[in-house]
Amino acid sequence: MALHQNLIAGEWIGGDAVPNINPSDTNDVVGEYARGSADDMKTAIAAAKAAFPAWSRSGILERHAILKKTADEILARKDELGALLSREEGKTLPEGIGETIRAAQIFDFFAGECLRLTGETVPSVRPNIGVEMSRDPLGVIGVITPWNFPIAIPAWKIAPALCYGNTVVFKPAELVPGCAWAIVDILHRAGLPKGVLNLVMGKGSVVGQVMLDSPDLSGLTFTGSTGTGKRVALSSIEHNRKFQLEMGGKNPFVVLDDADLNVAVEAAANSSFFSTGQRCTASSRLIVTEGIHDKFVAALTERVNNLNVDHAMKAGTQIGPVVDPGQLKQDEDYIAIGKQEGANLVCGGERLERETPGYYLKPALFTEATNNMRISREEIFGPVAAVIRVKDYEEALHVANDTIFGLSSGIATTSLKHATHFKRNAEAGMVMVNLPTAGVDFHVPFGGRKASSFGSREQGKYAAEFFTSVKTAYTLA
């Protein structure tokens, strides 16, 4: 089996081979991927630093052409790359293909942004002086991405970084090197100059630590756990480095008495269990008012019991496996905690046997939970949700906001009054009305508040806030 190597200074560099295992079938090795060393990462950062002056002054047509070519190839290979994503991460094949299409759309959007770079000219308060505001590229950007969106999240960090003239050092999650390697290979062949984009796969404790310790990174954009995010922040403050964090969530989904039951159940099931619940925008707190509570629980229980959990690549599968043994244990530990805390497990929570050996777990639904239980406070990151019964809208809003997190928040209601009030008063970066809490567009800002996010928003035009630095220039006429 050929070794997929790291890309450093425009050259493919080998390393220790690490097998990429399919969570739907642990006998299936997706590929062998190089594990980089600390020295590899130091070399990659030096290469990005050396490439920055020329790339930061490159023409906008050159950048546009490279990003557009990348978008076109990803889209043309959507079935192949979507299958790769599903094999290595465990998402269903339709989800894998859908995420791949989204990555292509992101690269296409930022290809266009290359041609839409603007500045601003204003008169000075002093006579005969002109004032210009422009955006300069930041410098060398460190990109650290998680395993749950292995092609979309790298796309929405790398594409704007390159669009605005930065160079990149990219460290993907160890569990999903395949998609990372594929998009770097595509960008490399699209014509990026040597050193502009560097890929170093490997352990976070080794290559990731070098990134945190490096004074040569001008910016570090990170998506992952809250604990690691704090380490990224502390190291960045030490080096006076710009940093951007997307971390955890404990997203509420409120169901009011006046909700359309079918809409509410479908949105809740999607929010809580699709993508195996492994989304930072997933909803694991279902906050339901008394009048609809029993009907909602009965309908959602039936929906969950009928979800088809199986091999991610199999036609008809709705829920794939959990990503790896560590995450599976975490899910099972929280299910045990929920029982100990007194919540009622109405369905699911047990491991499943399928034709192939994999990390299969039946989605778990608790009722009679309270908002002070650990299963209601801590991010589980698996197919586990708890229903919290409340009296009315006012209590629902209070419970929804009673969390350290603030990424996404949803409500099911047919009341314009309550929907409008919720949009204005939900303490979250994104609010969904009669829609799942997960599922966002690629051209608008993504991000949260409180412990979920720090720094400027990702995606769309708002990405410029992180990847550029504003310069103000004065000229005497």
Is 62's pLDDT higher than 90?
Answer: yes
Active site residues: 246, 280
pTM value surpassing 0.85: yes
Structure tokens at 236: 């960045």
Is 342's pLDDT higher than 90?
Answer: yes
Tell me how far CA of residue 305 lies from CA of 73, 302, 347, 364, in angstroms: 39, 5, 7, 9
Q: What is the DSSP letter of 148?
A: S
Q: What is the DSSP letter of 309?
A: B
Q: What is the DSSP letter of 134?
A: E
What's the N-to-C CA distance of the chain in angstroms? 66
> Which amino acid, one-letter code, is at 247?
M
Nearest of 372, 325, 374 to residue 175 by alpha carbon: 325
Structure tokens at 380: 């589980």
Structure tokens at 212: 């945190």
SS3 277: helix
DSSP states of 70-132 as a string?
A: HHHHHHHTHHHHHHHHHHHH---HHHHHHHHHHHHHHHHHHHHHHTT---EEEE-SSTTEEEE
Scan for tokens 């639904």, then name that residue: 365
Sequence-ordered list of residues with C-beta below 8 angstroms from that of 216, at least 6 positions apart, any chain: 45, 46, 48, 49, 140
Compute how many other C-beta atoms are within 10 angstroms of the C-beta atom of residue 419: 17
pLDDT digits (tens, 9 = 90+) for 6-59: 999 999 999 899 999 999 999 999 999 999 999 999 999 999 999 999 999 999
Structure tokens at 4: 């997929």
SS3 388: strand
Tell me how far CA of residue 109 lies from CA of 67, 115, 431, in angstroms: 9, 10, 23
> Which amino acid, one-letter code, is at 95?
E
- Give residue 477's pLDDT band: very low, low, confident or very high (50, 70, 90): confident
pLDDT digits (tens, 9 = 90+) for 81-104: 999 999 999 999 999 999 999 999
Instruction: Specify whether the CB–CB gap between 420 and 448 falls below 8 A.
Output: no
pLDDT digits (tens, 9 = 90+) for 282-309: 999 999 999 999 999 999 999 999 999 9
Q: What is the pLDDT of residue 236?
A: 98
pLDDT digits (tens, 9 = 90+) for 421-470: 999 999 999 999 999 999 999 999 999 999 999 999 999 999 999 999 99
Is 239's pLDDT higher than 90?
Answer: yes
Where in 129-190 does DSSP place strands (E)? 129-137, 140-144, 167-171
Looking at the DSSP bridge assignments, the partners of residue 367 are 344
Nearest of 289, 384, 308 to residue 346 by alpha carbon: 384
Percent of the chain with pLDDT over 90: 99
Distance between CA atoms of residues 114 and 295, nearest Å:
51
Instruction: Specify whether the CB–CB gap between 405 and 229 falls below 8 A.
Output: no
pLDDT digits (tens, 9 = 90+) for 98-141: 999 999 999 999 999 999 999 999 999 999 999 999 999 999 99
Looking at the DSSP bridge assignments, the partners of residue 475 are 130
Sequence-ordered list of residues with C-beta below 8 angstroms from that of 203, at least 6 positions apart, any chain: 35, 174
Instruction: Count helices and strands (H / E) in the chain.
Output: 15, 23
Looking at the DSSP bridge assignments, the partners of residue 120 are 133
Distance between CA atoms of residues 43 and 186, nearest Å:
22
> Which amino acid, one-letter code, is at 342?
G
Cα 229 vs. chain centroid, distance in angstroms? Answer: 13
